[in-house]
Amino acid sequence: MAELTPAAADAAPGQEWRPPSYWPFVVPALVVVLAVIVFPWAFTIWMSLNEWKVGTPTTFVGFANYLRMPNDPRFVEAVGHTLLYTGLSVLLPLILGTFAAVVFHAKFPGRGFLRGVFIMPMMATPVAIALVWTMMFHPQLGVLNYLLSLVGLPPQLWVFHPGTVIPSLVLVETWQWTPLVMLIVLGGLAAIPTEPYESAQIDGASVWQVFRYITLPLITPFLFIAGMIRMIDAVKSFDIIFAITQGGPGSASETINLYLYSVAFIYYDLGYGSAIAVIFFLLIVAMAALMLHLRQRMMWTEIGSGA
């Protein structure tokens, strides 16, 4: 390949060279994407306008499926659960992940291996993880209540009580996805120049001051990206909740995704299920847009106060 380079230098200047079409490279993937992503989307939107239960004839009902949602207490409740679950599952991994990133940014022997161990929770098969957490949550035989007893705390019912089920599931979600936040923030830390730290050291700033006034502002864009990705994943969380509680006890941990599953594949109410899928998607897009908007406003106030 080394011989090719001089030839390019000779031929390139002066010659009018039209870039070739790259369409043939994209067409196979385009076909696949149309078949498995675009077609399902179009079909879902069309189905959401129909009354369609498996085994009964289809009738066009316009927006009736959409109008059903606000009057469906189970759906409204599911929205509440989803927002609570998502809020906690964004916040906790962001805080813990930032801490972990600061730790992994330091140099110590075995860092690469330990980082590999640290990201294992997010790569492991969620159902397998959920199974073991279920055993750990067990009120009589579970190891978590034993650990609580060691520090003198009373035993909990964890996922078996409506009041504690969502925080318990968030605990699993946080354990699983803190590593992702860590990786993103670690990437941000690697990009920070060393000069501010050197001057801070000369000025005798404390560890906390250095973090608060130098590190934190500089990694904010990365925290924002991590928060965005975390939000999208937490809203859609399914495997963990389904495998541990199936939305229970009762419907105390039923999120929109779980309810969507029940409507579509237990009650086989495909029209209503499709409408929920559309609204669910729009909700995620709206939350992402809201976060972008907040970020923009934050940036403007930062610039404003900085000037």
Partner 1 sequence: MSLRQILGKIGLWFAVFVVVSPAILFFLWMASLSVKFEVDNAAYPPVFIPERFAWTNYADVLASNRFLTYFVNSLIVTGTATGLAMLVGVPAGYGIARMAAHKSAIVILIARITPGLSYLIPLFLLFQWLGLLGTLVPQIIIHLVVTVPIVIWIMIGYFETTPLELEEAALIDGATRWQVFRHVALPIARPGLAVAFILAVIFSWNNFVFGIVLAGRETRTLPVAVYNMISFDQLSWGPLAAAALIVTFPVLLLTVLAQRQIVAGLTAGAVKGG
**Least distance in Å: CB of 219 to partner 1?**
13
The piece of 70-78, 79-87, 180-188, 289-297 that touches partner 1 (CB under 8 A) is 180-188
Residue 58 CA, chain-centre distance (Å), reads 36
**Least distance in Å: CB of 305 to partner 1?**
30
Would you count residue 60 as binding partner 1 (CB under 8 A)?
A: no
Within 10 Å of residue 273's Cβ, how many Cβ atoms? 24
**Least distance in Å: CB of 245 to partner 1?**
12
How many contiguous H segments (helices) and E segments (strands) does the chain have? 16, 2
Would you count residue 208 as binding partner 1 (CB under 8 A)?
A: no
Distance CA 123, CA 132 (A): 15
> Rule CB under 8 A: which of 101-130 touch partner 1?
103-104, 106, 108, 112-121, 123-129
Residue 288 token pair: 């992402």
Which of 285, 298 has the CB closer to partner 1? 285
Which of 155, 163 has the CB closer to partner 1? 155
The piece of 77-85, 192-200, 282-290, 295-303 that touches partner 1 (CB under 8 A) is 282-290
Listed in sequence order, the residues at least 6 apart from 213 whose beta carbon sits closer than 8 Å to its beta carbon are: 200, 205
Nearest to 256 by CA among 37, 52, 83, 127: 83
Would you count residue 267 as binding partner 1 (CB under 8 A)?
A: no
Distance CA 179, CA 175 (A): 8
Distance CA 161, CA 245 (A): 10
Which of 203, 305 has the CB closer to partner 1? 203
Which of 206, 305 has the CB closer to partner 1? 206
